[in-house]
Amino acid sequence: MPARPIRRRRYRSVPIGRILLLGFFVIFVIVPLYWVFNTSIKPSSDYLAIPPVWFPDEPTIVHYTAALFTYRGLEGLINSIIISSAATVLSALFGTLMAYSLSRYNTGGQHLSFWVLSQRFLPPIAIILPIFLIYRSIGIYDTHLGMILAYTVFTLPVSVWMMFAYFRQMPRSMEEAALVDGCTRWRAFWTVAVPLAAPGIVAAAVFAFIACWTEFFFALLLTSKNAFTLPTVFRSFLSFQGAQYGEAAALSIVSLGPSIALGVLAQRHLVRGLTLGAVRG
Full-model pTM: 0.83
- Average pLDDT on 123-138 reads 91
pLDDT class for 46, splitting at 50, 70, 90? confident
Q: Indicate the Cα dihedral angle 89, 92, 95, 100, nearest 10°.
A: -130
Q: Give yes or no for a contact between 81 and 258, defined as CB atoms under 8 angstroms apart.
A: yes
For 65-277, the fitting CATH number among 1.10.3720.10, 3.20.20.140, 3.40.50.1100, 3.20.20.10 is: 1.10.3720.10
CB neighbour class for 94 (10 Å; exposed up to 12, middle 13-18, buried from 19):
middle
Contacts of 272 (CB under 8 A, 6+ apart): 199
> In this predicted model, what pLDDT tens digit does every residue of 98-127 receive, in sequence order?
888 888 877 666 667 677 777 777 788 888
At residue 49, the 3 state secondary structure works out as coil
Query: Phi, psi (5° rounding) for residue 183?
Result: -75, 145
- The helix-helix angle for 198-214 and 267-277 (nearest 10°) equals 110
The identity of residue 257, as a single letter, is: G
pLDDT class for 279, splitting at 50, 70, 90? very low
For the chain, what are the domain ranges? 3-46, 65-277
| pLDDT value of residue 171 | 80
> In this predicted model, what pLDDT tens digit does every residue of 198-235 receive, in sequence order?
888 888 999 899 999 999 999 999 999 899 999 999 98
Cis amide linkage into residue 195, ω under 30° from 0:
no
Contacts of 140 (CB under 8 A, 6+ apart): 146, 149
